[in-house]
Structure 1
Amino acid sequence: MLQIVIGMGCVYLVLKAIAITQAGLAVRPENGRRANFYSVAAMIIGIGGAALFMGLMLDHSEVVAGIGTAPY
């Protein structure tokens, strides 16, 4: 159950980052530089966070299944 929630959270982070990037691209040219910075920052945070949580979920799955060793 926890893995499903984490997976859905990862998908949500990626979709939210894409939505913020699209909103940043729709800004008028005079505010474009700031909007582009925030769009890139949102994309990095969203994709990076999703990748981090997906990696943690895979590590947790291995430990629970007995495939890997516990890191603690």
Structure 2
Amino acid sequence: MAPQELLIEYLPILVFIAIAGGMSVAMIAGSILAGVRKPDAEKLSVYECGFDAFSDVRGKEIQTMIGALSVVG
């Protein structure tokens, strides 16, 4: 099989990939350009700005890992 014949056989796949890539880029660009932007100070602020964390969550993380390992094992 000649290399030129091989390229002709893969041409529909390459066209499909090009169309899919072009559509995905166009959709992302369209959503960025047409998206409504309403900057809000409350949404842009840090979540717990000025507040201390309520509790240390590291203990729960270890308990979750131990529980997951017991299910897997």
| TM range, smaller chain | 0.3 to 0.5
TM-score by length of 1: 0.43
TM-score, normalised on structure 2? 0.42
**Larger RCO of the pair (alpha carbons < 8 Å, separation 6+):** 1
Q: Which of these two proteins has the greater Rg computed from alpha carbons? A: 2
Tell me which protein shows more helix as a share of its residues. 1
